[in-house]
Structure 1
């Protein structure tokens, strides 16, 4: 059977970091980790020596990319707060205050539509099964899709608003400084 993977194409999902250096492989492994994991397990996935993994994990911990949990053995997990902070900083750097404000308005409008449609203040307040069963035109998949989109819009609005505030603060400091 011929190999369907192109030599110039992306690596298979199972070996997504094969061409990267060890730092990138460890970083990529951390991004995929959903629970505290030992340096040895990370080294195994990253195809490197556990001492090398511990070295980079210590550095990532100092940067705030991972959280180190003491124990025997110590474990490491991705620091989601770091990635949230990074995303907000990138939004603030890439967009003007006006663009960010417009996006907050668009997301707020979408959120208000969902609040009106479902008669609830948040997606968590909606009983998806009961809503779908009482609807003539909405399936359970439709309702769950809406609830997911609504939750995403709420999260994005928070990010964009934080980025807007950050960008506005930076511009105010530049004008007054």
Structure 2
């Protein structure tokens, strides 16, 4: 018997939700969906009845996990704001104020270095081709990598700052005598 018949290990890329129930398959499919999609298309992808898909998608819409767009037919898409909110809450719940502050300091230093390197406030202000031509030691790919890392650092710092504020607001103030 070949290794391909083994039930241990990760699922195939063709059907990553094969062992999950219908709810989990719909949820997983919505996580991967990047544009408004009908319940019928989702049902086809997860191999369930469209009525079942509509039921779960309606429930996910009520929870804020997906956004329902009215129309004929209605479409559903992943609500990125929900997942951002969830990530901030997770950070606030699992990291101490000191951990959050330290990571914000590190990211701020990283961002400042990119700002100085590229003489810009945001990565969007940088012409990657022109920057690579000015700095002969860096390739265009290096520059694009820097810009992506810089943008990621900015987004992570914003997320951590929101978590820090949330965490600070939930902790009692220390009283000095």
Question: Which TM-score applies when normalising by structure 1?
Answer: 0.94
Please give the residue correspondences for 1:13-162 in structure 2 after superposition, counting only pairs within 5 Å: 13-162=13-162
- Give how far 1:93 is off: 0.3
1:96-140 CA-partner distances (Å, limit 9, x unpaired): 111101111110000000001111000000000011112210000
Q: Which residue of 1 aligns with 2:165?
A: 165
- Give how far 1:7 is off: 2.2
Q: How far apart, in 2, do the equivalents of 1:167 and 1:120 lie?
A: 32
1:33-83 CA-partner distances (Å, limit 9, x unpaired): 000000000011111110100000000000000000000000000000000
Question: Which TM-score applies when normalising by structure 2?
Answer: 0.94
- Give how far 1:142 is off: 0.3
Q: Give 5+ residue unaligned stretches, structure 2.
A: none
Q: Quote the RMSD (CA, aligned, Å).
A: 1.5
Q: How far apart, in 1, do the equivalents of 2:106 and 2:127 lie?
A: 26
Q: How many residues align?
A: 174
> Do 1:23 and 1:56's aligned partners in 2 also have CA atoms closer than 8 Å?
yes
Change (3 A) 1:141 1:163: same
**Most deviating of 5-14 and 104-113:** 5-14
> Do 1:39 and 1:54's aligned partners in 2 also have CA atoms closer than 8 Å?
yes
Secondary structure at 2:10's aligned position in 1? coil
- Give how far 1:13 is off: 1.1
